[in-house]
A = this chain, B = another copy of it.
Amino acid sequence: MSETTPSTVTSPRRRRAPGARHEDKRTAILRTAAQLFAANGYESTSLDMIADQLGMHKATLYHYVDSKESILYQCLVKSFGDLDTVIQSMEDRSVPVLQRLRQFCRSLAQAQNSDFGRCLVLVGSRPLDLVPDGEIRRFQRRLDTTVRTLVTEGIAQGAIKPCQPGMVSALLFGALNWVPRWYSDKGRMNLQDVVDTFMDMVTSGIATGKA
């Protein structure tokens, strides 16, 4: 969503360091790989197919990425790296806890619906376990812990009803992880409206209490 297509060509007016050009190229490779994984499945996509799609020799491709697993890991860094700051900002108690929870869900949805985030959500559960050192799983647990901590704080404060924080997390992550499967940024709602609608329902409930 918030991603722009990176240029692999250096503008003549604005000279850039070779390192930046390398990084642009790598981003373009990752984006193509992410789109192929999301469209065809992780197992069905080979490094050969990624090189073909980019019109690139496989040897050149290996200069930028060394395995399919490392591509998945780089997609995590690209899409969810910015969430570090958001997670830290969740500790700012001057903002009401339900407002922080909403802000966290908005940021998470932005990350999940970028090209890189979509890939991680759409490849399904199994490929994510192939990433060395369980890095993706560890990051997912951190997201889960962030929500649980906010809910626990909200219960202690009296802003949230006594409930199991893990179940609030399971409800919200389920709903948000499903969004990349049905959401299109060409539809009527923008992504923030989607998240806010979910949060309104979960915060205030859908029942009137009548009838």
Q: Which residues on A are within 8 Å of B, measured CB to CB?
A: 39-44, 96-98, 122-127, 151, 154, 157-161, 163-164, 167-168, 170-171, 173-179, 181-182, 194, 197-198, 201-208, 210-211
Chain B residue nearest to A40 in the complex (CB):
B126
- A175 surroundings in chain B (CB, below 8 A): 170-171, 174-175
**Partner among B123, B173, B177, B202 whose Cβ is within 8 Å of the Cβ of A205:** B202
Contact B208 A161 (CB under 8 A): yes
Nearest-CB residue, chain B, relative to A172 = B175
Nearest CB in chain B: distance from A130 CB, A: 10
Which B residues are in CB contact (< 8 Å) with A182?
A: 170
Q: Are B124 and A161 interface neighbours, CB within 8 A?
A: no
What DSSP secondary structure best describes chain A's contact surface? helix
Q: Give Cα distance in the complex from A201 to B125, angstroms.
A: 26
Considering the complex, give the chain B residue whose CB is closest to the CB of A171: B175
A158 surroundings in chain B (CB, below 8 A): 208, 210-211
Q: Which of A158, A159, A206 has the most CB of B within 10 A?
A: A206
In the complex, the 10 A-B pairs of residues with the closest C-beta atoms, listed nearest first? A174-B178, A205-B205, A124-B124, A43-B43, A174-B175, A159-B211, A204-B205, A203-B207, A174-B174, A171-B175
Contact of A96 among B39, B194, B205, B211 (CB under 8 A): B211
- C-alpha spacing A163/B206, complex, angstroms: 8
Q: With A124-B41, A157-B211 known to touch, is A178 a contact of B168 (CB < 8 Å)?
A: no
CA distance A141 to B119 in the complex (A): 24
The reply to whether B201 and A202 contact each other, CB–CB distance below 8 Å, is yes
Would you give the shortest CB distance from A187 to chain B, in whole angstroms? 11
Question: In the bound complex, how far is the Cα of B210 from the Cα of A203, in angstroms?
Answer: 12
Residues on the B chain within 8 Å of A204, using CB: 161, 205, 207
Residue from B126, B154, B171, B201 in contact with A41 in the complex, judged by beta carbons closer than 8 Å: B126
- With A98-B207, A158-B210, A207-B98 already in contact, the answer to whether A167 and B201 are too (CB < 8 A) is yes
